[in-house]
Structures are given as structure tokens and as C-alpha cells.
Amino acid sequence: MTKERPAAARLSGIRKAFGAVAAVDGADLLVHAGEVHGVLGENGAGKTTLLSILGGSLRPDAGEIRIGNAAVDLRSPRHAWDRGVGMVHQHFTLVPRLTVLENLTLGFRDAARGWRLPLDDVRVRAEELMGRTGLSVPFDSLTENLDVGERQRIEILKALLRNPSILILDEPTAVLMPGEIERLFALVRDLTDRGVAVVLVAHKLDEVLSVSDRVTVMREGRSILTAPVAEVERRALTRAMVGREPEPFSRPPAPSHGKTVAELRGARMLGRHGEWALDDVTLSIQAGEILGVAGVQGNGQRELAMALSGVRTPDGGSAMLPSGVGFITQDRSREGLIPDFDLVENMALALHRRAELRRGLLLDWRGIRDRTAAAVTRYQVRTPGASTAARALSGGNQQRLVVAREVAEATDLLVAENPTRGLDVAAAAFVHEELKRLVRGDGDTGMAAVVLISTDLDEVLALSHRIVVLVRGRILAVPEQARTKEGLGSLMLSVDHATA
């Protein structure tokens, strides 16, 4: 519908491996000036890796990068900016203990290199930009005191300050409310009208389709297809992303109501900065149900998980917990297992508490080894052996091990915190099946309850029998008619009403 625009950037035959695992292998990307280019793909498809290469924060093992018409070697983010590429990362790149203005200034370089801190210049420019884009940020606040939405705006402002000709936005909507997403997309449109190329990375199809001119789909490190949005069918995109027909959405059957396995009464938990991160939460969980907890990250999910798993006792109120609690933490490599320990020792993290695996002070390592071998077989953990260090396993296989261990612990309750984050499709499906199996209570386990704390609304909607939303540490029940993404989104947004 438009005439062919000039190429802003072209990546061809890109390969990037971490250790023996190729995150990107044989990926191409052509971005035109003045277009919104959506990059779609499941978690782990290699989107972030590919765009980080264009953003200069990763260097490819093979392949060519052209910006405009020149082949370039992007050695650092600064190299990329000098060539007009700005990137807003998925994980924030702000320094918490600097002010907003200092963060905007960081790395903002003009002629006066080094000595003079151009705070005033940056302030003037940023104010001008704020007026033009409608992004507003408090300049003199400490960044650590701001919420995720504000930080996102700072990131975008920081990138725009350098007048990029190519702007990469990596999963910008993950932390935003529906209303904020619309404002962001309006801004994106405004930028492309000025001739800027915007690359939008996302794994949510609808969002990408609503704003993009063209899309590229990635799967398993390769670019599968590139097409104008107007010319491609939605089903074809989904198939390209997943590699097969998508499963039909199914509402889980209502559970046969079981006994209450866990209960919080007026529970309060202090957050990291002394605030009530969990505030007067009363919640009871029945055997046989998956209770979904939705919410924007940082609204008390961490503390709720700590309270329900028994890792921390509430600072106020009470928690009644069963004896058999499993906990799948979202931070697998830091909290879920010890990378330097082998699989047996990682299993022992939970098993060492069991009386039947102790002989006085001594641990029954033979017993623990047998159980590890059984778990490895049953959960299909791909590993050279049980005495391999956990760090040698892929993320998916690490998660299988953690799930195996925690499901075995969860005779009564399993707390699962973003259990599929960062997993490939197969591994995620496996985790979902385990959660369902646990509440069905078939096989060797009794009927347990699952609390699924997740920022992925699709996951919460697909699995949960009952859903609650966490907003600023408080629990909101979700009425039947609000069981949609939009409904949950507006409840998650209801922060003002909750605190007013």
C-alpha cells in the first residue's frame, strides 16, 4: 500500500551461540525506515538475542549487519548509537540509586567529553521531548523509588534523547497496563511518521498486529517468515511461531471442592523498602484447585509466594500452612537450584529434610541418589548423568529438575511462581501438565492445591479454576465476567481505587 521505503537496517545470516547452545542461528531481518516492524516469537525463540546484536550489546558469531547501506561491526551499545540505533531493553538498564536526570545523562555524550556533566543540557532537551511525546518523568527523584511504568518511560525517553533513526523496543508492553500500551503505540506511530524505524519485539500476537506494518516471526533461533501485516493470516503467524496448530483455549473444569489446605488471615509482609508489600491478605486455598494470582510484577507477588511457601513467616496476621509444601521459584538459577551442585545434591536440597533419608547426622546419599535417578527418568531431564553439575543443563531441563523435586514435596500445596518464564514451548507445556496432574490427584500423589502466581495472563486464564488479582499488596477477587485479559487488565490497573 505504500511505496518501497529505504532499508534502515539489514541483518543477514546471523548466528550467536552461548556455550554449545545457539540462541540464534541463521536469522535475517530487514527493517525499513518509517515502519513499525514487529518481531514475533515464543519465549526462547531468539528475538532478544537478535535485537541485542542490532543494539550493539551482543556481538554475533557470524552474519552481516548493515545499517543504511554500510556494513558495520557493532562492538558496543555506544557504537550502535553512533549509527543511530537505540534500544529499550526488556530488563531495565537504569541505575536505581541515581536520579532520573542522572540516568538520562548517563552515556549521553556530546562534544564535551568527560569533565562537564551536562545535566542542564539534558534537562532542557528532555523537557522539550516530554512536551512533544507526552512522556512525563520526575527528573529529580531517585530512580529506585519509581514504579515500573515510570521506569519504562525513562528508558524510552533515554533512547529518544539520542534521536535514533532505528528504535528497538524489547517487550515494552510486558510491564504496562492496557491504557499505557495504547499511549505507547500512539507514540510509536508518531515516531514512524517522522521517518524513524521502530522494531517492536513481543510474544503477544494481538499487540504486535495492532501497530506493526510488517512482521518477522522467529522460531528456534531462525527467522521463519517476514511479511506485511496486511498480507498475512493470523493463523499462519501462530503456526509459524509455535510450529504447529495452537491448542484451543479450554476453561478447566471446576474442581470438586476439597478441604482447605492453606489459609492466610490478614497477612502482612514487609517489602524491601519497609513498605507493606503484602497488606491484609486473607486467602484460603482448597485441595483440588489451581488458584491463579495475576498482577503487574512488583505488586506483592514475591511476598505472597514467600508467605505461602513458608520461606518467610508473615510480619502480621497469620498463615496456616500444610506440611507438604513445594515451591517453584521464578528465579531458578539463583533460588531454585545451585548451579555448582550436581543433580543429586540439588535434589538433596529438599530431600535432606526427610527423616527417612537420614541416619542420625548422616545423610542417606544412596537413597537420595536413587530418587534422583528416578526423577531424572520420569521427568525426562536430559543430562549426561546424575553427577553432572546443574549449570551444564539447559534452562528447560533445569526447570524439569526443580519441578520434579518440588512436586514431590507438594503433597498438599504447590506454590508456582512464573513457572514457565523463559522456557520453550515443550518445557512450558510439560510444567502446565504437571500442575494439572497435581490437582487431579491421580498417580502416586494425593489431591493437592496449586497457587499459580504469574504475570502471564494467558497462562493464568488457561489453567486457573479461580483467579485473584494482586494490586499493591492487596487481593481483589475476580468476578466471573472479568475472566478475560481485558477484565484482568483493568482490575490490575485499579490501583487508584484500591488505595483511595
How far is it, in rounded angstroms, from Cα 121 to Cα 116? 11
Residue with smaller CB distance to other proteins, 138 or 395: 395
Among the listed residues 345, 412, 434, 459, the single contact to other proteins using CB under 8 A: 345
* By the rule CB under 8 A, 274 interacts with other proteins: no
How far is it, in rounded angstroms, from Cα 404 to Cα 86? 42
Neighbours of 403 (CB within 10 A): 26
| Helix (H) or strand (E) segment spanning residue 90 | none
* Torsion over CA: 398, 52, 242, 331 (sign): positive
User: Under 8 Å CB-to-CB from 102, ≥6 apart: which residues?
Assistant: 95, 119
* By the rule CB under 8 A, 124 interacts with other proteins: no
Q: How far is the CB of 249 from other proteins (least distance, A)?
A: 25
Q: How far is the CB of 316 from other proteins (least distance, A)?
A: 21
* By the rule CB under 8 A, 334 interacts with other proteins: yes
Interaction residues for other proteins, span 213-232 (CB under 8 A) = none
* By the rule CB under 8 A, 367 interacts with other proteins: no
- Radius of gyration, CA atoms only, the chain: 24
Among the listed residues 106, 142, 205, 462, the single contact to other proteins using CB under 8 A: 106
Among the listed residues 9, 14, 23, 262, the single contact to other proteins using CB under 8 A: 23
Q: How far is the CB of 4 from other proteins (least distance, A)?
A: 32
Q: How far is the CB of 64 from other proteins (least distance, A)?
A: 22
Residue with smaller CB distance to other proteins, 225 or 349: 349
Q: How far is the CB of 150 from other proteins (least distance, A)?
A: 16
Q: How far is the CB of 103 from other proteins (least distance, A)?
A: 8
Report which residue type is found at 201.
V
Provide the greatest CA pair distance for the chain.
79
**Cα distances (Å, whole numbers) of residue 409 to 339, 349, 415:** 21, 11, 11
* By the rule CB under 8 A, 271 interacts with other proteins: no
Residues, the chain = 500
* By the rule CB under 8 A, 102 interacts with other proteins: yes
Q: How far is the CB of 454 from other proteins (least distance, A)?
A: 15
Q: Which stretch binds other proteins (CB under 8 A): 192-200, 234-242, 316-324, 347-355?
A: 347-355
Burial 426-452 (b: 16+ CB within 10 A, else e): ebbebbbebbeebbebeeebebbbbbb
* By the rule CB under 8 A, 302 interacts with other proteins: no
Contact 329, 335 (CB under 8 A): yes
